[in-house]
C-alpha cells in the first residue's frame, strides 16, 4: 500500500466519500490562438493525444484537445506540440497554462488536522509550501499549473480552473 492509498483509506472513514471534481476546459500549453482549436483540430486524428506520455490530453466531442489531470499532470515535454501537424500547438507558443491550481481548505486533510504532504512531493517548482501546522498553500508566482499535485491528493482537494 502506498502513501496515497493509506491516507485515502484512513481519511475516507473520517470524511465520507470523495467529492466529485468540477471540470474546466484547460488546453495544452503550446497555443496562442483558441480559434485554431475549432478550425484546425477537426482535420486531425488526435496526434497530440498519442504523443502525450502522461496520457492527460483527451479529445472533446467537438474534436478539440483538453487536459484531464485525474491521473497525472503536464511535464511540459514538448511532445504534443512536436506532433501537431496543423499549427495549433507549436513550440514557439510554449507557455504556462492559462489556469490556476487551488486547494480547497475545507476538504484538505492537512487543513483538517491530518498531517499529509502528498501534494508537495510531485511539485518540481516548489510552489507548494506549508504554513504553521503543516497547512499547504500554493504560491501562484511559482506554480506552472502543471497539475501533477492534483491526482495524488487523497482528499481530492486540489483542482485546476481555467483563467478566462
**What CATH number is associated with residue 106?**
3.30.70.20
Residue whose C-alpha is closest to residue 26's, from 96, 125, 107, 120: 96
Based on the fold, state whether residues 13 and 46 are members of the same structural domain. no
Based on the fold, state whether residues 102 and 158 are members of the same structural domain. yes
pLDDT tens for 141-158 read 999 999 999 999 999 999
Q: Which of 61, 93, 125 is a domain's end point?
A: 93
Q: Give the number of domains in the chain.
A: 2
Least trusted range by pLDDT, from 17-21, 26-30, 61-65, 85-89:
17-21
pLDDT at 121 over 70: yes
115 located within any domain:
yes
Domain ranges, residue 39: 35-93
Q: Where residue 3 falls among pLDDT bands split at 50, 70, 90? A: low
pLDDT tens for 25-38 read 899 999 989 899 99
Residue whose C-alpha is closest to residue 44's, from 65, 68, 66: 65
Instruction: Tell me the C-alpha distance between 55 and 141, whole Å.
Output: 27
Is 0.85 surpassed by the pTM of this model?
A: no
Amino acid at each position: 500500500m502506498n502513501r496515497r492509498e493509506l491516507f485515502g483509506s484512513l481519511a475516507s472513514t473520517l470524511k465520507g466519500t470523495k467529492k466529485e471534481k468540477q471540470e474546466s476546459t484547460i488546453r495544452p500549453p503550446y497555443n496562442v490562438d483558441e480559434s485554431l482549436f475549432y478550425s484546425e483540430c477537426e482535420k486531425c486524428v488526435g496526434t497530440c493525444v498519442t504523443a502525450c506520455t502522461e496520457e492527460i490530453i483527451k479529445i472533446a466531442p467537438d474534436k478539440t484537445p483538453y487536459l484531464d489531470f485525474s491521473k497525472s499532470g503536464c511535464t511540459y515535454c514538448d511532445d504534443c506540440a512536436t506532433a501537431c501537424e496543423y499549427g495549433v500547438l507549436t513550440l514557439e507558443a510554449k507557455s504556462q497554462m492559462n489556469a490556476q491550481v487551488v486547494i480547497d481548505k475545507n476538504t484538505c486533510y492537512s487543513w483538517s488536522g491530518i498531517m499529509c504532504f502528498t501534494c508537495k512531493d510531485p511539485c518540481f517548482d516548489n510552489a507548494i509550501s506549508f504554513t504553521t501546522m503543516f497547512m499547504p498553500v500554493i504560491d501562484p508566482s511559482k506554480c506552472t499549473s502543471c497539475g501533477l499535485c492534483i491526482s495524488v491528493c487523497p482528499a481530492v482537494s486540489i483542482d485546476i480552473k481555467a483563467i478566462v
